[in-house]
Every structure is written in C-alpha cells, then in structure tokens.
Amino acid sequence: MRYGSLQLKNNLVAAPLAGISNRAYRVLCKRYGAGLTYVEMLKVESFLHHNRKMMTLKYYREDERPVGIQFAGNNPQWLAEACKMAEDEGYDTVDLNMGCPVPKIGKCGAGSALMAYPEKAGKCFDAMVNAVKIPVTVKIRAGVNENCLNFIEIGRMAQEAGMVAITIHPRTRAQSFKGVADHSRTGELKAAVDIPVIASGDVKEPEDAVKILRETGCDGVMLGRGVWGRPWLFREIDELRRYGRVITPTPDATERLGVLRDHFALLLEGFDARHACQVVRRYATWYVRDIPGSAQYRARMTQVESREEFHEVLDEITDHYESIVGVPEHEIIGRRAPALAVTF
C-alpha cells in the first residue's frame, strides 16, 4: 500500500495511541507484521513546546521505519509548524487526529470535536499539506452524531487539500467507543474518494479485518485495542488474507508470557527501571488475562516496583500455567492460584 510517496510493506497500520504507542509497543507491532507504526498521539501545542517529557514521547529509532507522528489540534499555523518540525526530525508521514473522542482533547476543539467545524478542518488540511513534502493523512470519525454524518464531506475536503490517505473510525463522536463500528460507512467513503481509505474500529480477530477489507473495498486496516497483549494479530490477519487461513499457530500462554518478558526488556531500553515498571503494569494484564487462575498474579503485576519483582511475578505466573497444562478444563474452572506472599 502507498501513502503518497511512501511505500508500505503491507496494508496493516498500528494506531497512534496516547499512553500506549511507545517504542516497545511499536517494535513488537513491527515484529509481528505491522506495515506502519506511529508514536503516540500528541497535542500540537505540547509538541511545539519541546519539553523533556515530549522528547521521551516522540523518541524513535531508525530500525522502526517507516514511522509516523499524529497531532491533535485545530490551529492551522501551529499544525503547519509542527509538520515542519516532524519532517526535520525524520518522520516518514504525519497525520491529523479528528477521531479521538476523549473529552480532554475535545474540550480544546481537537480530535473528533473538529468534525463539527469543516471550514476550520479544511484550513488545517491546507496548512499541513503545504508545509511539508512528506505524506500527510487524516483520521476521522463518521461525524459528530447521527444527525451530523459528514465523513464524506470531510473526506473529499482532505483529498482536495492533497492529503494522501484517510483513516475512518465509523462511529460518531457521540458514540465514543459504544455500540458497533458501522463499516458500511467505510465503504461509502471509499466509493466517494480516490485516495486510500483505511478502516479502523472493532478489529478483534483476523476474520474481522478480512471481512472489512472484502466488504468495503477499503485499502487497509488500522489496529488499536485489538492488538493490546496480542501483537501477533497483525501476522494472523496477513496470513488469513494471503493464504485463506492462519498458518502460524497462535501463541500459547508460555509464548505470550515470553512476549511480555520481551516487552518489558524493550521498555527498559527507553525508560529507567521504575518508569518501565509503571508502564508495564498496564500491558501485563493484557498478556495474562486469559490464563486460568491468574487473577492474583494480575493484581501483583499491577503493583510491581522493580525489574526483580517483575521477573519474580512473571516466573510465578509461568510456573502456575505450566502446572495446569493438560488438566481438564472442568477441573481448572474455579481453581484458585496458590496464595502468594505480598511483598509491597
């Protein structure tokens, strides 16, 4: 798939997620088949201030390419300046977020709140595209609410401004993440524009992605929450699309815990141990959630304070899982993990 001048190895994109899309997360997404990753969504004014925290958030390495950056904002001048900075800092593509429904972004008139102001959005599109040579894209929602479904209008404006692709999450701003993503709207947008359309929303299984691609005719899929603790979903989608079935076996719990260990090691490359522990607390529960009898371990994992404690708890979870391998499911149901000594 092409984003203007940028050739991607496939049509699977890892969504830019605030608080999630750090380097460790991006590396794992790439390892399992993502064609494009982004640093986490950034407020444009924060990016321009260039403080120490921002240096950490936007950090990437050459081995991640292609890598993009996404801004939330509604000031054309600021967005243009941010795009220039992003281009100078080596990002391969830049995206405007018009899809985030989170109130703290919306109260600033950014994210999906910008869907309510097409004229202002158009000025942002023009400013960003005219500021740089790298590909510029936009992520949108279906509209503000069911009475204001303006995704086709916004999509055509983006195309006319010179944006090279559009990602659509086909819920409205009012829906946030409730209900279902109506991908018939994705198909409508694809029919209305000539540039690539990327589908986002409710991709939880490989079959979901393949069905959306087939039924809407869209060009690619952006994955967000569906790959939390499951980065191999990229690989499974690619295999199902290419071969009609998933070739590589889905990782069992032992393998998943190994990926969690890798995830933590990658976090330690970018953060000090204490910060890495704070970050891994969120990720750990995703990897562990399906292991029977692991509730106590999940609780401990959300409170680890050191790398030693992290590995201690992870080793105990691994031992617990291996102790129940081969035990009939009806015997596992309701079985509690052994009592753990709490050390914090």
Evaluate whether residue 342 is within a structural domain. Answer: no
My answer on whether 194 and 283 are in the same domain is no
Evaluate whether residue 158 is within a structural domain. Answer: yes
pTM of the shown model = 0.91
- Which of 243, 271, 298 is the C-terminal boundary of a domain? 243
My answer on whether 158 and 230 are in the same domain is yes
Based on the residue annotation, tell me whether 100 is a catalytic residue of this protein: yes
My answer on whether 259 and 227 are in the same domain is no
The CATH number for 231's domain is 3.20.20.70
My answer on whether 222 and 269 are in the same domain is no
My answer on whether 238 and 278 are in the same domain is no
Largest interatomic CA distance in the chain? 64
Pick the closest to residue 142 from 113, 117, 171, 103 (CA basis).
171
Cα–Cα distances (Å) from 137 to 125, 157, 217, 234, 264, in that order, read 9, 12, 19, 21, 32
Catalytic residue from among 29, 83, 100, 124 = 100
Q: How far is 277 from 229, CA to CA, in rounded Å?
A: 16
Whether the bond into 66 is cis, omega within 30 of 0: yes
Encode the chain (344 residues) as per-residue pLDDT tens digits.
999 999 999 999 999 998 899 999 999 999 999 999 999 999 999 999 877 778 788 889 898 999 999 999 999 999 999 999 999 999 999 999 999 999 999 999 999 999 999 999 999 999 999 999 999 999 999 999 999 999 999 999 999 999 999 999 999 999 999 999 999 999 999 999 999 999 999 999 999 999 999 999 999 999 999 999 999 999 999 999 999 999 999 999 899 999 999 999 999 998 999 999 999 998 888 898 888 878 888 889 999 999 999 999 999 999 988 887 654 444 443 333 333 332 22
